[in-house]
Amino acid sequence: MPGKDEPFARAALIGIGLIGSSLARALRRHGLAREIVCSAPTAATRAKAMELGIVDRAFADNAEAVLGADLVVLCTPVGAYAEVAAGIAGSLTPGAIVTDVGSVKQAVVRDVGPHIPEGVHLVPGHPVAGTEHSGPEAGFAELFVGRWCILTPPAGTSPEAVERVAALWRALGSNVEVMDAGHHDKVLAITSHLPHLIAYTIVGTATDLEAATQSEVIKFSAGGFRDFTRIAASDPVMWRDVFLNNREAVLEMIQRFTEDLTALQRAIRWGEGEKLQDLFTRTRAIRRSIIEAKQA
Ligand code: NAP
């Protein structure tokens, strides 16, 4: 295997939306791949990626895109992984590294793992960075700078392959952490998946209110609602797939959240101001820690 700091000969990005196109831009800027190709089912997406000049070639067929690639990155919604992996399996080059950017990680081993041929290395990854926008125009090269990228290699993965992927993300400006896929899915269920679900719920509740109240919701949204609408504007397909593919961990967090919400409901009903103030004081400290960790 080439050295960990050597550029890849050809990087194939399967899917070229927010994350894929950010990766394409960043790979190019840092000279980490001599050739960058992509695939996407929609002709308009492929044309846009070419027009933006972020890839050298764009294919409709995923299998064609991975031919001769020593780095393959799945950048599609997680629900497409099984079909994508089955489609590219026969065209992967021996020695190639297959990685991904999906927001859930156990599903990668389950859906992609069985299709990876002998001699090809699977190193699942998740850049914990994003925005509520989608598509090739939404990406930018700096997206990963100062953010974490979590790698979840299954037991027995070549350490050199893991190190090459880790070196790639570090070169893009990310901090890298390696962890077990199950642990990743639990942590992200509370830090990312549940907050998105809550945002979708609040905004959904508001859209069910009678028309007169709805217009007030928009008018006075700066009271807090506005911040939820940003999160609730995130890609519907991507988030559908996150919840369907991290079911157990998300259901567990919803259960805990529901219990805590009920406790707050009770505190409000019984006028237990001290309980409310205690919680709000503790949560304020969490915000401070995030700012100190430069993750704000
Ligand atoms: P996106 O902007 O909607 O882009 C998805 C891309 O996948 C599009 O180019 C789409 O092509 C392509 N695609 C869909 N099905 C495909 C298939 N079967 N074969 C090849 N390409 C296919 O989504 P994104 O936000 O970049 O998310 C991509 C992945 O990154 C997801 O797994 C998500 O969990 C993960 N992620 C997202 C964020 C975030 O904040 N958005 C953060 C971290 C990780 P068409 O345009 O032709 O449909």
Ligand 1 pocket member 15 (CB < 6 A): yes
Residue 121 confidence (pLDDT): 98
Residue 222 CA, ligand 1 centroid: distance in Å: 30
Instruction: Report the largest interatomic distance among the alpha carbons of the chain, rounded to a whole angstrom.
Output: 67
If you measure from the C-alpha of residue 82 to the centroid of ligand 1, how many angstroms do you get, rounded to a whole number? 14
Å from CA of 2 to ligand 1 middle: 29
Order the strands of the 8-14 sheet from edge to edge: 57-59, 33-39, 8-14, 71-74, 97-100, 121-123
Span 22-66, pLDDT tens digits? 999 999 999 999 999 999 999 999 999 999 999 999 999 999 999
Q: How confident is the model at residue 277 (pLDDT cuts 50, 70, 90)?
A: very high
Q: Is the CB of 139 under 6 A from ligand 1?
A: no
Q: Which atom of ligand 1 is nearest to the CA of 134?
A: 2
Q: What does the alpha-carbon distance between residue 234 and residue 137 come to, in Å, rounded to a whole number?
A: 15
The predicted structure's pLDDT at residue 6: 84
pLDDT of res. 5: 78
At residue 213, the pLDDT reads 83
pLDDT in tens, 148-182: 999 999 999 999 999 999 999 999 999 999 999 99
Q: Whose CA is nearest to atom 41 of ligand 1?
A: 130
Query: What pLDDT does residue 102 have?
Result: 98
Write the pLDDT tens digit of every residue in 222-258. Answer: 888 999 999 999 999 999 999 999 999 999 999 999 9
Main-chain dihedrals φ then ψ at residue 219, nearest 5 degrees: -60, -45
Judge whether residue 208 has pLDDT over 90: no
Say yes or no to pLDDT of 4 above 80. Answer: no
User: Which residue out of 19, 108, 151 has the highest number of ligand 1 atoms within 8 Å of its CB and is therefore the one to mutate?
Assistant: 19
Pairing between β-strand 33-39 and β-strand 97-100 as defined by DSSP bridges: unpaired
Q: Which atom of ligand 1 is nearest to the CA of 234?
A: 41
**CA 267 to CA 13: how far, in whole Å?**
51
The rounded percent of the chain whose pLDDT value lies above 90 is 89
Does the Cβ of 65 fall within 6 Å of ligand 1? no
